[in-house]
């Protein structure tokens, strides 16, 4: 399990704590992508997706393996995400004559989480998460920060909103 957050604090500077904070970055993989199920990320510039001059929203499906990309110009693309390569593929590829299917692969595929403060183990707290995508030939781009609720269970596992798949662990 990847470390997403660390930063124990109980106010007296000793090493034991009953709370932690989310503050870190984790690469997306097939095993943790479901943690983003149902989240929507906004990109003010959709050039990274092949739509220069437009903004876009990227919504992850409930299990984190599907997506819906909607541009400000009205284009809607739905498909699947393959992790390891972070490959977004239009499914099904319903296209007009002469159009190529939407297939985008990103070398950089990570999320950065930040809680608004310490969260008690077994409790929840507000925070934000951003999605970072980029390729070998494209500068990495961060989404606009999305508001989320982090939950840290008694074992230090961090989940987002009502998702059951941990995105990481505190500690």
Q: Which is nearest to 59 in space by CA: 44, 84, 79, 89?
A: 79
Instruction: Measure the CA–CA gap between 152 and 165, rounded to whole angstroms.
Output: 12
The torsion of the CA quartet 44, 164, 21, 123, rounded to 10 degrees, works out to 130
The C-alpha atoms of residue 127 and residue 124 are separated, in whole angstroms, by 10
How high is the pLDDT of residue 13?
42
Q: Which tokens belong to 156?
A: 């230090």
Indicate if the pLDDT at residue 12 is higher than 50: no
Residue 130 has pLDDT above 50, yes or no: yes
Q: Is the model's pLDDT at 100 over the cut of 80?
A: no
pLDDT band at 95 (very low <50, low <70, confident <90, very high): low
pLDDT on residue 4:
41
Residue-wise over 18-49: b if at least 16 C-beta within 10 A, else e?
A: ebbbbebebebeeebbbbbbebebbbeebebb
When pLDDT is cut at 50, 70 and 90, the band that residue 1 belongs to is: very low
Residues 6+ apart with CB under 8 A from 96: none
Phi, psi of 45 (to 5 degrees): -125, 115
Is residue 148 packed enough to be buried (19+ CB in 10 Å), middle (13-18) or exposed (0-12)? buried
Name the burial class of residue 138, with classes exposed (0-12), middle (13-18) and buried (19+) by CB atoms within 10 angstroms of its CB: middle
pLDDT value of position 99: 67
């Amino acid at each position: 399990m990847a470390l997403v957050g660390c930063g124990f604090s109980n106010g007296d500077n000793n090493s034991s704590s009953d709370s932690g904070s989310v503050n870190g970055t984790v690469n997306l993989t097939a095993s943790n992508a479901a943690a983003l199920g149902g989240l929507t990320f906004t990109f003010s510039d959709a050039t990274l997706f092949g739509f220069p001059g437009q903004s876009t929203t990227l919504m992850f499906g409930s299990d984190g393996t599907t997506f819906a990309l909607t541009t400000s110009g009205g284009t809607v693309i739905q498909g699947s995400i393959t992790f390891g390569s972070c490959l977004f593929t239009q499914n099904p590829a319903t296209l007009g004559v002469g159009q190529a299917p939407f297939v985008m692969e990103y070398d950089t595929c990570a999320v950065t989480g930040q809680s608004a403060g310490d969260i008690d183990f077994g409790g929840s707290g507000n925070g934000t998460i951003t999605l970072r995508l980029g390729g070998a030939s494209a500068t990495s781009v961060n989404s606009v920060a999305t508001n989320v609720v982090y939950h840290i269970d008694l074992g230090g596992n961090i989940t987002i909103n009502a998702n059951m798949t941990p995105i990481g662990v505190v500690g």
